[in-house]
């Protein structure tokens, strides 16, 4: 027996010879679990991992939750990036598992070895990364987040993916299903980005899971390089934390990684919080990589805070007094100031043309802290434009916007401008005549006089880097904030995408258009996408489309969407030019979306837009009313003649019940690849022959890839008939079919499935159909039949459906019967 035990140990040494010495030591140390085996020449010595700590790699709580140690802080302090440290994993928290360990019996040799190695990664890390792939695979799930992040390179070299481990981490720690999880390509980034946000906002305790509990791991610091999108909300607590001095390294990481900065549900904040926001925005936008700023759901916006975010997003600010860590100017700005001052001094020395007064001004403007003098700026209604004093140094004025905003706020004059400013809505149609330097002069909601009607002079402001995308969702904009935004837009040349959604603009839309018109005059303007949506429209949709497109022929995407028509729309001052009279130059427009507030669609007004947009590839018309039966025919004729590259055409909530001929013409189009008839009442008054004509037309069209028919009351029998699109004699290339919201019952879906299977069998399994959408149908009425139909369908194509309570739409069902 003794000889046999010795030979076993010798064989173990031989088998593990290619591996690093530390691995052999661990394997030999835990080869025997329990009493020593007689005759074995190698005495098993267990690694010292803390009293009561089992070497159980499969336990869901392994390694066990640690207790605090002197070299770390409490686990609950993980909300700070400086961190103070995380509790040590040496000892504690495992005694309760000893009984379970004994009951389960001895673990596998590899599991015990891997667990021991994972506990000693601090000393063994370099050797661990050299392990063969099959050993590294078993070790990776036992590492803390800190070690797992460091193992990424070694795993890649070994041909291993850590994605399943990060996905399990998400499930165990976040305990939620992320939206669009099927589209997540990197779970490592997804986990660390969400982890950063949750720790920052205090909703995740790092002591809650052993994998987060590593005394080397500083939560914010180590996860910040993976954060490309961040949302700040409520009282901006996250901004205060990130702007704190102990998080300077975190902020530096974010400046390189963050691309999208969002603000949601903001509340009014005090001056100290705003100063933190100043530092944050200055570092992330002006000296960082943030390219998109979005603001959501701010029912009663704080005007000062809103203007602060908008102006800094546009790149307007100054280095110096407001941008300070403990009274020290921003380091990056200070370096730029110093370099600029040296360059200026050298140039003047070489030219030999010193001017003592100008040199003094330069010195003072480069160091505004030295000459900080707050001036209480007064309103300038009816007065000549007030130009702030401009020096000839690299910065224009010692008074920065921060001081200006808070000085004006203390004036208690309802925000930014005098209450006696021009009446809202006055001269609404004069916006095209404004000059580039004065975008808001003489139009709705703007000063008749006073030039640039913003809250500050752009010419007196130093320009920093600005963002390329601005999005404002559900944030009411007053006349004052619209004037400010217009002023900012007038020179925001880096802006590529602008989204204004449900901001209650009303007549102030003219003010925004004025700023955009001024922006269009800049040769280096980059605006390519504009989306405007609101409840009430102040002008007809097509007129607004023509206004924007005539100013920006370089746009690629334009979306105009309104819910209701303004009943006061017709009450406009006489003698003012209309945008509909402006000539539209040839444009680069590729995507046009118009949602009408139940207004008539006159092709004659749309025709100039279509003629100017020969590159148009997508057109969407929503909630339009056709004044006569010939109107749709004229539109289709115009599309064929003017837009030969049109690939996607969508009609939503447009009554096409009396336009069957035009519908068939569209389905015959040899260029269109995607057609949508959504809630268009296609079969409201149709005959059986119309459905047969649709099917035969689609069967002959080899270019159509997607057909979307949601909300057209197909019912069971029409759905079953649609299966013939894929019959043996069909030349259709249809890949996607959307039959959502069509009162389809489980038995009808099953019959459609069987018929589809028959056609596929006849074609020898050759079919291009890949996607079927079934949202909001009657599949809950017979769960067993529905499950059978879905199971068989999923063997043919990808099926997207939902759990929907059909009892909410009983009336619609009765109408189909």
Q: What is the pLDDT of residues 63-117, one digit of tens each?
A: 443 333 333 333 333 444 343 333 334 333 333 333 433 444 556 777 777 788 8
pLDDT at 431: 35
- pLDDT band at residue 792, thresholds of 50, 70 and 90? very high
Which of 8-12, 245-249, 388-392, 800-804 shows the lowest mean pLDDT across its residues?
Answer: 388-392
| Residue predicted with more confidence, 627 or 426 | 627
Examine the pLDDT at 11 and tell me if it is beyond 80: no
- Strands 557-565, 736-738: pairing is unpaired
In this structure, are residues 612 and 579 in contact, taking their beta carbons and an 8 Å threshold? no
758-761: long-range contacts, CB 8 A cutoff, minimum separation 24: 759/723, 759/724, 759/726, 759/727, 759/728, 760/726, 760/796
| Residue predicted with more confidence, 191 or 95 | 191
Examine the pLDDT at 41 and tell me if it is beyond 60: no
**Region class of 643: left (phi > 0), else alpha (psi between -120 and 50), else beta:** beta
Burial of 260 (0-12, 13-18, 19+ CB in 10 A): middle
What is the residue-averaged pLDDT of the chain?
Answer: 76
Q: What is the pLDDT of residues 579-616, one digit of tens each?
A: 656 678 999 999 999 999 988 888 889 999 999 999 99
In this structure, are residues 455 and 518 in contact, taking their beta carbons and an 8 Å threshold? no
pLDDT at 31: 40
Positive or negative, the CA dihedral 174, 182, 804, 654 is: positive
pLDDT at 49: 36
| Residue predicted with more confidence, 145 or 575 | 145
- pLDDT band at residue 419, thresholds of 50, 70 and 90? very low
pLDDT at 317: 75
Distances (CA, A) of 257 to 193, 224, 250, 712: 11, 8, 11, 46
Give the count of beta carbons closer than 10 Å to the beta carbon of residue 424. 16
In this structure, are residues 402 and 549 in contact, taking their beta carbons and an 8 Å threshold? no
CA–CA separation, 588 vs 557, rounded Å? Answer: 9
Examine the pLDDT at 351 and tell me if it is beyond 80: no
| pTM of the predicted structure, to 2 decimals | 0.76
CA–CA separation, 773 vs 797, rounded Å? Answer: 10
CA–CA separation, 31 vs 15, rounded Å? Answer: 13
pLDDT at 538: 87
Burial of 410 (0-12, 13-18, 19+ CB in 10 A): exposed
pLDDT at 202: 92
As given in the structure block, the two tokens for residue 687 are 């005959």
pLDDT at 457: 52
| Residue predicted with more confidence, 13 or 340 | 340
Q: What average pLDDT score do residues 674-682 get? A: 96
- Rounded (10°) angle between helices 21-29 and 121-128: 120
pLDDT at 814: 52
Which of 288-297, 725-734, 759-768 shows the lowest mean pLDDT across its residues?
Answer: 759-768
Which of 256-265, 357-366, 481-490, 801-810 shows the lowest mean pLDDT across its residues?
Answer: 357-366
In this structure, are residues 672 and 646 in contact, taking their beta carbons and an 8 Å threshold? yes
Q: Name the residue with tokens 């008054």.
A: 685
CA–CA separation, 776 vs 296, rounded Å? Answer: 28
Give phi and psi for 327, each to the nearest 5: 70, 10
pLDDT at 107: 62
Give the count of beta carbons closer than 10 Å to the beta carbon of residue 762. 13
Examine the pLDDT at 53 and tell me if it is beyond 50: no
Which of 208-217, 542-551, 566-575, 770-779 shows the lowest mean pLDDT across its residues?
Answer: 566-575
Distances (CA, A) of 612 to 148, 450, 553, 589: 56, 36, 9, 9
- pLDDT band at residue 120, thresholds of 50, 70 and 90? confident
Residue ranges in 533-588 assigned as alpha helix (H): 541-551
As given in the structure block, the two tokens for residue 714 are 């197909």
Q: How far is CA 529 from the centre of its chain?
A: 16
- pLDDT band at residue 440, thresholds of 50, 70 and 90? low
CA–CA separation, 652 vs 677, rounded Å? Answer: 6
pLDDT at 536: 92
Examine the pLDDT at 452 and tell me if it is beyond 50: no
| Residue predicted with more confidence, 360 or 733 | 733
Examine the pLDDT at 472 and tell me if it is beyond 70: yes
CA–CA separation, 674 vs 177, rounded Å? Answer: 31
CA–CA separation, 231 vs 247, rounded Å? Answer: 18
The contacts of residue 670 (CB under 8 Å, 6+ apart) are: 701, 703
Q: What SS3 class is residue 210?
A: helix
Residue ranges in 735-782 assigned as alpha helix (H): 746-762
Give the count of beta carbons closer than 10 Å to the beta carbon of residue 29. 18
- pLDDT band at residue 543, thresholds of 50, 70 and 90? very high
Examine the pLDDT at 438 and tell me if it is beyond 60: no
pLDDT at 756: 96
Q: How far is CA 42 from the centre of its chain?
A: 60
| β-strand partners of 328 | 325
| Residue predicted with more confidence, 449 or 544 | 544
- Strands 324-325, 328-329: pairing is antiparallel
């Amino acid at each position: 027996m003794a000889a046999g035990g010795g030979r076993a140990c010798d064989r173990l040494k031989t088998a593990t010879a290619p591996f690093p010495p530390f691995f052999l030591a661990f394997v030999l140390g835990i080869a025997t679990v329990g009493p020593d085996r007689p005759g074995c020449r190698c005495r098993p010595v267990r690694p010292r991992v803390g009293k009561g700590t089992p070497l159980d790699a499969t336990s869901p709580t392994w390694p066990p939750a640690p207790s605090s140690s002197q070299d770390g802080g409490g686990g609950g302090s993980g909300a700070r990036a400086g961190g103070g440290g995380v509790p040590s994993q040496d000892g504690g928290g495992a005694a309760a598992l000893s009984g379970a360990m004994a009951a389960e019996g001895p673990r596998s040799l590899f599991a015990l070895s891997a667990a021991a190695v994972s506990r000693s990664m601090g000393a063994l890390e370099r050797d661990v990364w050299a392990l063969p792939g099959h050993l590294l695979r078993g070790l990776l799930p036992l590492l803390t987040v800190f070690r797992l992040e460091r193992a990424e390179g070694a795993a890649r070299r070994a041909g291993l993916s850590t994605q399943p481990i990060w996905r399990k981490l998400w499930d165990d720690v976040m305990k939620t299903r992320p939206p669009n999880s099927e589209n997540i390509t990197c779970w490592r980034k997804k986990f660390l980005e969400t982890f950063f946000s949750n720790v920052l906002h205090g909703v995740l305790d790092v002591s809650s899971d052993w994998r987060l509990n590593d005394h080397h791991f500083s939560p914010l610091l180590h996860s910040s390089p993976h954060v490309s999108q961040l949302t700040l909300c409520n009282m901006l607590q996250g901004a205060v934390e990130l702007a704190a001095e102990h998080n300077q390294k975190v902020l530096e990481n974010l400046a390189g990684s963050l691309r999208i900065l969002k603000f949601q549900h903001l509340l009014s904040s005090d001056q100290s919080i705003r100063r933190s926001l100043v530092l944050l925005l200055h570092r992330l936008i002006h000296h960082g990589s943030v390219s998109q700023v979005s603001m959501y759901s701010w029912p009663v916006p704080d005007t000062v805070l809103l203007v602060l975010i908008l102006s800094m997003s546009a790149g307007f600010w100054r280095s110096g007094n407001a941008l300070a860590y403990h009274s020290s100017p921003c380091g990056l700005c200070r370096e730029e100031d110093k370099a600029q001052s040296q360059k200026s001094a050298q140039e003047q020395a070489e030219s030999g043309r010193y001017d003592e007064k100008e040199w003094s001004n330069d010195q003072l403007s480069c160091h505004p802290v030295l000459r900080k003098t707050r001036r209480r700026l007064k309103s300038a209604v009816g007065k000549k434009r007030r130009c702030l004093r401009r020096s000839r140094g690299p910065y224009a004025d010692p008074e920065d916007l921060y001081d200006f905003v808070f000085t004006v706020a203390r004036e208690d004059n309802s925000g930014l401008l005098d209450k006696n400013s021009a009446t809202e809505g006055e001269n609404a149609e004069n916006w095209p005549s404004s000059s580039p330097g004065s975008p808001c002069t003489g139009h709705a909601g703007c000063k008749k006089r006073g030039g640039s009607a913003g809250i500050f002079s752009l010419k007196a402001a130093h320009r920093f880097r600005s963002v390329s995308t601005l999005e404002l969702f559900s944030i009411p904009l007053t006349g004052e904030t619209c004037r400010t935004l217009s002023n900012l837009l007038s020179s925001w040349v880096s802006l590529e995408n602008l989204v204004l959604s449900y901001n209650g603009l009303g007549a102030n839309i003219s003010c925004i258009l004025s700023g955009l018109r001024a922006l269009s005059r800049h040769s280096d303007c980059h605006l390519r996408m504009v989306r405007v949506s609101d409840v009430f429209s102040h002008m007809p949709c097509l007129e607004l489309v023509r206004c924007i497109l005539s100013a920006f022929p370089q746009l690629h995407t334009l979306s105009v969407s309104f819910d209701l028509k303004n009943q006061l729309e017709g009450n406009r001052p006489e003698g003012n030019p209309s945008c509909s009279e402006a000539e539209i130059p040839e444009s680069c427009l590729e995507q046009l979306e118009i949602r009408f507030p139940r207004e008539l669609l006159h092709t004659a007004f749309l025709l100039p837009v279509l003629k100017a947009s020969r590159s148009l590839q997508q057109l969407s018309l929503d909630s339009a009313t056709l004044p006569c039966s010939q109107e749709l025919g004229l539109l289709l004729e115009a599309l064929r003649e003017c837009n030969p590259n049109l690939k996607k055409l969508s009609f939503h909530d447009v009554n096409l019940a009396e336009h069957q001929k035009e519908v068939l013409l569209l389905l015959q189009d040899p260029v269109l690849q995607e057609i949508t008839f959504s809630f268009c009442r296609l079969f409201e008054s149709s005959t059986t022959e119309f459905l047969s004509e649709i099917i035969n037309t689609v069967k002959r069209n080899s270019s159509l890839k997607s057909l979307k028919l949601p909300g057209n009351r197909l019912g069971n029998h029409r759905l079953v008939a649609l299966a013939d699109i894929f019959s043996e004699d069909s030349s259709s290339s249809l890949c996607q079919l959307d039959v959502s919201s069509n009162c389809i019952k489980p038995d009808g879906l099953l019959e459609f499935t069987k018929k589809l299977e028959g056609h596929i069998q006849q074609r020898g399994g050759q079919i291009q159909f890949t996607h079927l959408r079934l949202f909001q149908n009657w599949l809950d009425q017979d769960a067993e039949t529905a499950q059978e139909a879905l199971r068989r369908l999923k063997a043919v194509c990808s099926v997207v459906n939902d759990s929907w309570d059909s009892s909410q739409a009983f009336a619609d069902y009765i109408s189909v019967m």
